[in-house]
Structure 1
């Protein structure tokens, strides 16, 4: 006697292609943003304040240091996001994409479209809190 299986255990190749396209686009944008961040770190301050008095120079140096720290943090976050997107592409290739690593159930398409690098369903994510 054959039992009917209502619940899918993985996404079809066509569905995986849709997610791959979404991830590749997000990856392209993320790499572009990372490139912009790193190039802003390497370019000298172009505010043209070299001829102002020394008092303001000290304040500006502190401000520039703080800004560089913030850009470094953003760049680190962007690198991590890129790594997560690339890992998601790997899961697409081995056909495990969209399967919750906690529950083993399929993560709903809506969640994957919003957060394509996720490895947890909302059910599992809520248990973390």
Structure 2
């Protein structure tokens, strides 16, 4: 071998695991908040307003709920990607680009801990 690292050290993996677990916790809290926002069926006291305002308000509410549902779907995918990263740590494939087979830069993994592509592979896409 020519001094090229093939995988991260246990110490590095522990650091990544900590980063990922913190992100999962925060993402799950955000997801709960989003779900609470679109599952909240309580109306905001619009019963006594004029019909034109009520319909506008309901339309706006539907759009907000749809936006929150979309955000929740993205958040669920993010959590799933983070959990998959934890599995890659466990099975020894974490931090290895699935295209080039090279180690993904540590700085990239700190920012995007669920990354499966190196910068080179991502740019080539």
What TM bracket, shorter-length normalisation?
over 0.9
Is 1:122 paired with 2:119? yes
Is 1:75 paired with 2:82? no
Q: Residue 64 of structure 1 is aligned with which of 58, 61, 66?
A: 61
Structure 2 equivalent of residue 86 of structure 1: 83
RMSD: 1.1
Give the C-alpha shift of residue 5 in structure 1.
3.1
Misfit runs of 4+, over 4 Å? none
- What SS does the corresponding residue of 2:85 show, helix, strand or coil? helix
- What SS does the corresponding residue of 1:96 show, helix, strand or coil? coil
Q: Which moved more, 1:72-81 or 1:40-49?
A: 40-49
Q: Residue 106 of structure 1 is aligned with which of 93, 103, 107?
A: 103
Spell out, residue by residue over 1:76-108, the C-alpha distance to the aligned partner (whole angstroms, 9 max, x if none). Answer: 000000000000000000111000000000000
TM-score in terms of structure 1 length: 0.93
TM-score in terms of structure 2 length: 0.96
Spell out, residue by residue over 1:15-36, the C-alpha distance to the aligned partner (whole angstroms, 9 max, x if none). Answer: 1000000000000000010011
Give the C-alpha shift of residue 44 in structure 1.
2.8
Q: How many residues align?
A: 125
Q: Which runs of 5+ in 1 are unaligned?
A: none
Q: Equivalents in 2 of 1:15, 1:5: separation in Å?
A: 21
